[in-house]
Amino acid sequence: MMSSEVYAELRPELFSSKSRSQSLDRAMDLGLAEDHFSRPVGSFVASDIEQLKMAIEECKRLILELPEHSERQKDTVVKLIHLRLKLQELKDPEEDEPNLRVLLEHRFSKEKSKSVKQTCDKCSTIIWGLIQTWYTCTGCYYRCHSKCLNLINKPCVRSKVSHQSEYELSICPEIGLDRQDYRCAECRTPVSLRGVPSEARQCDYTGQYYCSTCHWNDTAVIPARVIHNWEFEPRKVCRSSMRYLALMIPRPVLKLREVNPLLFNFVEELVEIRKLRQDILLMKPYFITCKEAMEARLLLQLHDRQHFVENNDMYSLQDLIDISSGRLSCSLTEIHTTFAKHIKLDCDRCQAKGFVCELCKEGDILFPFDSHTSVCHDCSAVFHRDCFYDNSTTCPKCARMTERKHDDPPEPKDN
């Protein structure tokens, strides 16, 4: 990569003097061997930088002169890289910058990778890891040059996620450029739809307009379009919305039963997932009282969707995306089968907690998550579905409990 950059910068001026080549070697060796950091910061003299510049120029010319792909040419390219790094260190003596900096709730960590090419989120230019120091926020992954850190005016998106864990559920709530005073909604740069002085780009999540520095035409699935239209086509969003949606995507903050209950009437996959989740919640009491299940850590099979073992009505955006693609149905069905096998076949303790239908007193042992059973809402007794519907006047277990309550003498009151 560096050699192609070198070729692009050079003029086709070649030289073949042996003495000149020897002087180049001496200049490069001097430039690499000199310990510039043995002197205090700020005490570099002009000859240091000039000497390195001369070695770099001679090295660039020698690369063009040497045979293509020869070992000597490759060695010279490596020397050129080291010389440029040395020059950059002399020009930017702030290499001792802290490894961690906190700014506007960002926690910036100094990157050590020198081979990754990134784009600065502040100035929108390329970060050359080989010769530039750069930082990444460990919370929202905002990247920028070290020289751009003090220019940042955008707070960390993760703080917004922590304090406001909810989505905008109106589809592209546009207010118009005039309400924004024809300025970017984030940095307040003047914008217009004509692109003068800067192009106005709309974020489909917030509905507002942004400049090209704050809106890079990134795309993301919009929660409001999913909930209201069951639409998963990625739409263009600004940088801050992209980061916010990326951090929010695994969070179970969508209560579909309240936001759009009619969605279950039109999306069969949602009904299937809801039934599987209801069954898993019915299986949970078996596992938390079963030593074998706890040792096997069966419930940890849902560690990435912990809310599935806590409730059956909260969904994350990632859940809905996986439901639409069919991935969640496959994985959850497999986990459901594993759980049911443990309770009904593998574990004697769990089998002993099954039910016998008290209405017909026939058939196999029943469990509340079986598809052909019904559960009494008052006492949680389990019956065959057909039996309970046909004899739905009174639950036998509830009747016994009521009768026992009436037969028990009242406790004496304290005087």
Q: What is the pLDDT of residue 96?
A: 56
At residue 390, does pLDDT exceed 90?
no
Is pLDDT of 39 > 90?
no
Mean pLDDT for the stretch of residues 375-386: 83
Residue-wise pLDDT for 352-371, tens only, equals 988 888 888 777 888 989 88
When pLDDT is cut at 50, 70 and 90, the band that residue 43 belongs to is very low
DSSP state of 183: B
Q: Per-residue confidence at 49, pLDDT binned at 50, 70, 90?
A: confident
Please determine, for residue 372, whether its predicted confidence score (pLDDT) is greater than 80.
Answer: yes
For residues 288-307, give the mean pLDDT: 90
pLDDT at 115 over 90: no
Residue 281: pLDDT over 70:
yes
- Give the count of alpha carbons within 13 A of 161, CB side only: 20
Identify the weakest region by mean pLDDT among 123-127, 252-256, 299-303: 123-127
Whether the Cβ atoms of residue 152 and residue 144 lie closer than 8 Å to each other: yes
Whether the upstream peptide bond of residue 197 has omega within 30° of 0, thus cis, is: yes
The whole-angstrom separation of Cα 107 and Cα 103 is 7
- Judged against a pLDDT cut of 60, whether residue 33 lies above it is answered with no
Question: What is the pLDDT, as a whole number, of residue 92?
Answer: 55
- Where is pLDDT greater, at 94 or 272? 272
* pLDDT confidence bin for 12, thresholds 50/70/90: very low
Mean pLDDT within 174-202: 89
CATH architecture of 165-249: 2-Layer Sandwich (3.30)
Longest dimension (CA), the chain: 119
Average pLDDT, the chain: 82
pLDDT of residue 117: 73
Strand 254-255 vs strand 201-202: parallel, antiparallel, or unpaired? unpaired
Q: What is the pLDDT of residues 204-215, one digit of tens each?
A: 999 999 999 899
- Give the C-alpha separation, 21 to 59, whole Å: 9
**Cα 286 to Cα 349: distance, rounded to the nearest angstrom:** 9
Model pLDDT, residue 378:
81
pLDDT tens-digit readout, 239-272: 999 999 999 999 999 999 999 999 999 999 999 9
Q: The CATH number of 100-157 is which of 3.30.360.10, 3.40.50.720, 3.40.50.300, 3.30.60.20?
A: 3.30.60.20
Flag whether pLDDT at 393 surpasses 70: no
Tokens of 230: 């069951």
Name the residue with higher pLDDT: 13 or 366. Answer: 366
Rounded distance between C-alpha atoms, residue 103 and residue 112, angstroms = 20
pLDDT tens for 127-168 read: 887 778 889 998 888 998 888 888 888 888 888 887 777 899
108, containing H or E segment = strand 106-110
> Does residue 122 have a pLDDT over 50?
yes
